[in-house]
Amino acid sequence: MAKKASGQWKGQDRRGSASQRGYGAPWRRLRKRILQRDLHLCQPCLSRSRTTAADAVDHIINKASATADEMITLDGVRMHFDDERNLQAICNECHKAKTAREGNGGKPKPEIGIDGWPLT
Ligand SMILES: [Zn+2]
């Protein structure tokens, strides 16, 4: 009889920050598909005529803006929050800037100037 290892995850790592909670294998597959679709190029950079390798996949409309049933409206079209049309490849730099803009829970956060004080 094989000894039963207790408390051991079977190749599963469900840790992660609060914002990543709930992103399992389906999300990883979706993420890979978006990166392939966007040719691993950061889309916000691309729109500014810059070619940057993407590191992540981003929701164009923040989850905080989704309704309780996880629906969002993008370009006047109602769709699920995880719809491929609401996803884009993004680089670390753009992702950080976008997250900072959106803030936690979608609350607008003041931009911080180079002196460390919020710009008002
Ligand atoms: Zn970028």
Domain ranges of the chain: 25-106
> Cα–Cα distance between 67 and 47 in angstroms, integer?
28
Q: What burial letters (b/e) apply to 44-81, b meaning 16+ CB within 10 Å?
A: bbbeeeeebebeebbbbbbeeebeeeeebeeeeeebeb
Residue 47 CA, ligand 1 centroid: distance in Å: 9
Contact, 119 vs 113, CB < 8 A? yes
Indicate the pTM of the whole model: 0.66
pLDDT of residue 18: 46
pLDDT category of residue 20 using cuts at 50, 70 and 90: low
Closest CA to 84 of 114, 117, 43, 47: 43
The per-residue pLDDT for range 71-102, each reduced to its tens digit, is 999 999 999 999 999 999 999 999 999 988 87
Q: Is the pLDDT of residue 1 over 60?
A: no
Residue 119 CA, ligand 1 centroid: distance in Å: 23
The one-character DSSP state at 48 is T
